[in-house]
């Protein structure tokens, strides 16, 4: 079918590196930061320029940022549009776009963030399944971002094997093309989850780490598990030099360099004050605080 071909073309662009793993960046953090935006999200056009300079495999954002700030970089990096805004406590659960609108924006995939466990699990599954059904008709891949929660602990995102396994199963049964879930923190437990899935599984970048080195050390465990890569947020745009951070993550995910080798290869980096021009010349192109109920999810 022609729609199957259309979807394969788009997925091949996203997983275009010879390693067939994904090193993507997410700047779709919005509803969870109603108070106190992190520095890396204050000036989004500047942050985008620095991220694109590092040549990630894809960037995930909301439609508003894509419409207002993505034009200088259009076509140079695959674009993924996040469709859902929700808080971990389910106080807000809203769809902000449709697969048809995402396709018109030129994106290669639509991301659908949902929560599982808790009183609204069924509603979230219906949101994902409906998005898949609509996206399938137009050949648009669906990347499910699935977060299991524990409502006995104030709607905290949980990372244990059984809950992450359930999150992946939910993505499979709703028909997602790629599933992004939190990393369990343990290579062997995550390998078991990844090995059971007929759908590519990628890891969320995780909580804000104290340093780029510690974030990369975590990523070596993700790669060793056999996961198809990761989508990283705060551990890139919260760093003093986001471009260097993207390059370092690419070295670990794609080239499987050690943390020491990746840091050496990417150099000392620059201070946050050094800005990249809005249009960089082309060469040819989790929760930081689990105690908060309204949590930034990526």
Active site residues: 28, 147, 180
124 touches 90 (CB < 8 A): no
298 touches 181 (CB < 8 A): no
Question: Which class for 94: exposed (0-12), middle (13-18), buried (19 or more C-beta within 10 A)?
Answer: exposed
Q: List, in order, residues 6 or more apart from 277 with CB less than 8 Å away.
A: 49
Q: Which residues are bridge partners to 157 per DSSP? A: 149
Q: Report the candidate in 11, 26, 14 with the shortest Cα–Cα distance to residue 246.
A: 26
Residue 185 CB neighbours (<10 A): 15
């Amino acid at each position: 079918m022609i729609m199957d071909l259309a979807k394969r073309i788009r997925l091949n662009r996203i997983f275009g590196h010879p390693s067939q793993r994904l090193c993507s960046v997410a700047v779709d953090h919005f509803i969870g930061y109603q108070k106190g935006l992190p520095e890396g999200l204050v000036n989004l056009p500047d942050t985008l320029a620095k991220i694109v300079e590092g040549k990630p495999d894809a960037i995930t954002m909301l439609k508003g940022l894509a419409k207002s700030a993505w034009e200088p970089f259009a076509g140079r990096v695959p674009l993924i549009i996040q469709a859902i805004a929700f808080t971990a406590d389910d106080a807000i659960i809203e769809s902000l776009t449709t697969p048809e609108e995402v396709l018109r924006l030129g994106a290669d995939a639509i991301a659908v963030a949902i929560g599982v466990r808790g009183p609204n699990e069924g509603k979230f599954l219906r949101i994902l399944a409906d998005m898949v059904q609509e996206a399938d008709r137009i050949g648009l891949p669906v990347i499910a971002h699935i977060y299991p929660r524990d409502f006995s602990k104030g709607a905290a995102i949980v990372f244990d094997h059984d809950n992450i396994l359930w999150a992946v199963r939910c993505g499979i049964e709703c028909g997602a093309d790629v599933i992004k879930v939190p990393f369990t923190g343990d290579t062997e437990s995550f390998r078991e989850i990844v090995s059971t899935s007929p759908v590519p599984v990628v890891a969320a970048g995780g909580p804000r780490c104290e340093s780029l080195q510690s974030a990369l050390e975590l990523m070596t465990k993700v790669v060793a598990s056999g996961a198809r890569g990761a989508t990283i947020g705060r551990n890139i745009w919260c760093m003093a030099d986001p471009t260097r951070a993207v390059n370092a993550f690419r070295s670990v995910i794609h080239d499987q360099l050690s943390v020491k080798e990746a840091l050496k290869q990417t150099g000392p980096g620059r201070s946050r004050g050094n800005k990249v021009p809005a249009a960089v010349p082309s060469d040819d192109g989790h929760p930081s605080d689990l105690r908060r109920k309204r949590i930034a999810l990526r």
